[in-house]
Structure 1
Amino acid sequence: MLITVSGPAGSGKSTLAGNLADALNYEHVSGGDIFRSLAEERDMTPLELNKAAEDDDQIDRDLDRRLRDIAAERDDVVLESRLAGWMAGEYADIKLWLTAPLSARADRIAQRENKPFEQARTETEERSASEAQRYAEYYDIDFDDLSIYDLAINTARWDPPGTLSIALHAVDSYDESADEGKTPVQGIRYEF
């Protein structure tokens, strides 16, 4: 199977994707790791690269093309990024969406990146607004449209083991013969 894990910054995507990949003995491919590597290569922080991407659309398009190629070519993968569900499109077997209130997400980011909460909150809001604008402009994606996802989980309600349990139940109980059809990813312009 190809499983995608999507959601905003600080929602727990990397944690769930890693845990899910381990539990299923799948490969974990992280769009965040790819993005952070691109930032390091350019001697920038992820926020700086995110800002640069506002003027250089090739940064996003290169990352998104890699995600789409992985989705088209591989199985037994947990593909994780903000747009993994959109980029994997028809190739994904199960699309998961993670979310949490901004305050919880900012707190997680502040702890992970060892920065003040207010700074993390401001940066998270700025990054989210910037990305949403670019996704709409490049691909005609409404980041708030969750209709393409099979399951949405508020990770502020469950800890990582609980979130993993919910996701594993969805994967384990999936019966392809009973599947009446994936929600199509309509309207996206795959222009890389």
Structure 2
Amino acid sequence: MGVIAISGQAASGKTTVARELANRLNYRFVSVGELFRRIAIQRGVSLLELHRIAETDFSIDRAVDEEAIKEARRGNVVIEGHLAAWMLRDVADVRIYLKADINVRSQRLSSRDGKSIEEALNEIRLREKSNRRRYLTIYGIDINDISFFDLVIDTTYIDAEKVVDIIYEYVSSVLRNKGRF
């Protein structure tokens, strides 16, 4: 009945790492970011535009976060998202934070989404500013405070597979000691 929450900076590898970790653990995978992107597509707006809309329409974040909590309560899941670990603070067995140098993150986003590095850098800065402002306003959560995380990994110089190896070792040990593995 394990619950693993993975949060972190934009383009730090959250989705890639969480998906592979879920595979290794034979857990379900839930991406809060994908839920958010789905809403953007349904509304016919860009991801950045949905971030702007969400700054005044708190129902968007609340709906996505409630879905994450509901999925966590079902257990045996890896949930990733910017706010996932904060929202699942009392439910998650392990809370993991991924970070990386902003230039490396902008290169990753550029490659992934076919944008220029400058566009990617601008998008990351805007998204992170929007996320921080919204979460402070809606929940009183400062996403720059990572003090409650169980494991923080800088993915700047480590490939995704190695990051998953590190997390898998940590998570499997914690779950074993909690009698959940």
How is 1:52-67 mapped onto 2 (pairs within 5 angstroms)? 52-67=53-68
Partner of 2:178: 176
In the alignment, structure 1 residue 26 sits paired with structure 2 residue 24: no
The letter of the residue matching 2:167 is: A
Partner of 1:150: 150
C-alpha deviation, 1:176, in angstroms: 2.0
C-alpha deviation, 1:156, in angstroms: 0.9
The letter of the residue matching 1:176 is: K
Identity of aligned residues (%): 39
How is 1:101-116 mapped onto 2 (pairs within 5 angstroms)? 101-116=101-116
Partner of 1:180: none
Partner of 2:88: 88
Partner of 1:138: 138
Q: Where in structure 1 are there 5+ consecutive unaligned residues?
A: 178-192
Instruction: Write out the 4+ residue segments of structure 1 that deviate beyond 6 Å after TM superposition.
Output: none
In the alignment, structure 1 residue 16 sits paired with structure 2 residue 14: no
Distance in 2 (alpha carbons) for counterparts of 1:75 and 1:137: 29
Q: Secondary structure at the match of 1:90?
A: coil
How is 1:60-79 mapped onto 2 (pairs within 5 angstroms)? 60-71=61-72, 73-79=73-79
Provide TM-score, normalisation by structure 1. 0.89
Q: Secondary structure at the match of 1:91?
A: coil
Provide TM-score, normalisation by structure 2. 0.94
In the alignment, structure 1 residue 129 sits paired with structure 2 residue 142: no
Distance in 1 (alpha carbons) for counterparts of 2:167 and 2:52: 33
The letter of the residue matching 2:160 is: P
C-alpha deviation, 1:77, in angstroms: 0.1
